[in-house]
A = this chain, B = another copy of it.
Amino acid sequence: MAAPFTSLEAQWIIQFNAPFILENHTLVINESHIVDILPTADARQKYPTNIIVELQEHALVPGFINTHNHAAMTLFRGMADDLPLMTWLNDHIWPAEGKWVQEEFVKDGTKLAIAEMLLSGTTTFSDMYFFPEAAAKVVEDAGIKAQLCTPIMEFPTAWGSGPDEYIKKTEQLLEQYKAHPRITIAAGPHAPYTVSDETFVKCIKLKDKYNCKLQVHLHETQFEVDESVKQHQMTPIDRLNKLGVLDNDTQCVHMTSLTDANITSISESGAHIIHCPESNLKLASGLSPINKAQHANINIALGTDGAASNNDLDMLSEARSAAFLAKAVSSDATALSAIEALKAATINGAKALGIDEKTGSLETGKLADIIAIDLSPLHCQPVYDPISQIIYASRSDQITNVWSEGQRLVENRKLTKMNTAEIINQAKAWASKIKEANK
């Protein structure tokens, strides 16, 4: 006998095609996929033996897709705040990474990050950190989906001696995970100021050979742009464009300080913008003109960046910040509306990662990557428009249930496959060691 189907009976289901809001509808899951969406009255008739999950006053939206993270850095959360970017990196983050980052650190930090992400509704994330092979094992067990970008740069780190070793390790991981249903490997040339032309060209070859994605920090600050103009007589975007780095498989993270010519280049290349509004604000990196970029038909996805510069991995709050900031930067209160912010946090992320045919929206035939948001709390009342309420008035503690490929990974606000107490204790143990050493 086949496994029973599950009916999620919700007050609202949010879609990205009209009608955007389905009221009193049921979403039916069979194993890993969405197999039907229909009025609840009809669902009760059509699927009388389904397991029913009643989600009164809840809205169903797609699982969030966090397209930029340095997951293990959760263990450095709040260690050094309110500092200029270069002081933060040179005097705090890089020394701490040099001293502490190894496989065990990455394993425990990634576990903490994934637990936080699942509890706040993220079902897919992209990571860029050392020891991605350690992160992969955590992803495998946790049930979340991930794109793991291998860090590639000119200098040696705990993970390798330099670009050739990083690229070799990337190839090994690409081979190892090529058939994995939930883990994808991508090349992560760190940034224009840490990667040579020669190494970028090697990354392109990798991309062509393995048909993989490439993620790069790009135009994070005006300083980066100015230095590139001094050294290469062109902006980082122009340099990468000339090298052939930018195309539809490229994910460009940050993208502040963009000229109109830069926007045209990106638009023509088909590359994606990974917008990290809270990190850009907190580090005073600069402002990304995403309203302009969106009007130039560039796909805008969202990322939290690492917890050391945010300091949470909360995509609902990130979507709200993105909507707020887009309006301020463009002096246009209609910029990045609530539904557009929700798309940036979901389907646009799927497009950037190249998985939009299988996830990123609630549609029959797609993976059951779904979150249920409770709109009943007092601070969400009254509800004129559930989409507005989700983006502008909700907190991530209202996310009560999360399904990833049909598996219920969060049930009534509790993780079902991860040990919360153990994860917290491991984080505390790391912080004790780090604080002790800093004394």
Binding site for B on A (CB under 8 A): 74-75, 77-79, 81-85, 88, 112, 115-116, 119-120, 278, 280-284, 286-287, 307, 310-314, 317, 321, 323-325, 327-328, 330-335, 337-338, 376, 378-379, 381-385, 388-389, 392-393, 395-397, 420, 423-424, 427-428, 430-431, 434-435
Contact = CB atoms under 8 A, between A and B. Distances in A.
A382 B431 contact: yes
Of the candidates A75, A284, A434, the one having the most CB atoms from chain B within 10 angstroms of its own CB is A284
Identical subunits present = 2
Contact of A112 (B307, B314, B317, B381): B381
Contacts of A383: 78, 431
B282 A381 contact: no
B333 A379 contact: no
A431 B380 CA distance: 12
A381 B287 contact: no
A93 to B, nearest CB: 13
Contact of A385 (B78, B283, B286, B424): B78
A282 B78 contact: no
A282 B77 contact: no
Contact of A382 (B77, B85, B338, B389): B77
Contact of A328 (B281, B331, B428): B281
Contact of A278 (B282, B324, B332, B384): B324
Of the candidates A74, A378, A379, A385, the one having the most CB atoms from chain B within 10 angstroms of its own CB is A379
A82 B119 contact: no
A50 B337 CA distance: 52
A282 B327 contact: yes
Given A321-B321, A381-B424, 20 more contacts: A77-B393, A78-B388, A78-B392, A79-B385, A81-B337, A81-B338, A81-B388, A88-B333, A112-B378, A284-B328, A286-B328, A312-B392, A312-B393, A313-B379, A321-B324, A381-B423, A381-B427, A382-B431, A395-B396, A395-B397
A280 B325 CA distance: 10
Of the candidates A307, A311, A383, the one having the most CB atoms from chain B within 10 angstroms of its own CB is A311
Contacts of A83: 333-334
A392 B310 CA distance: 7
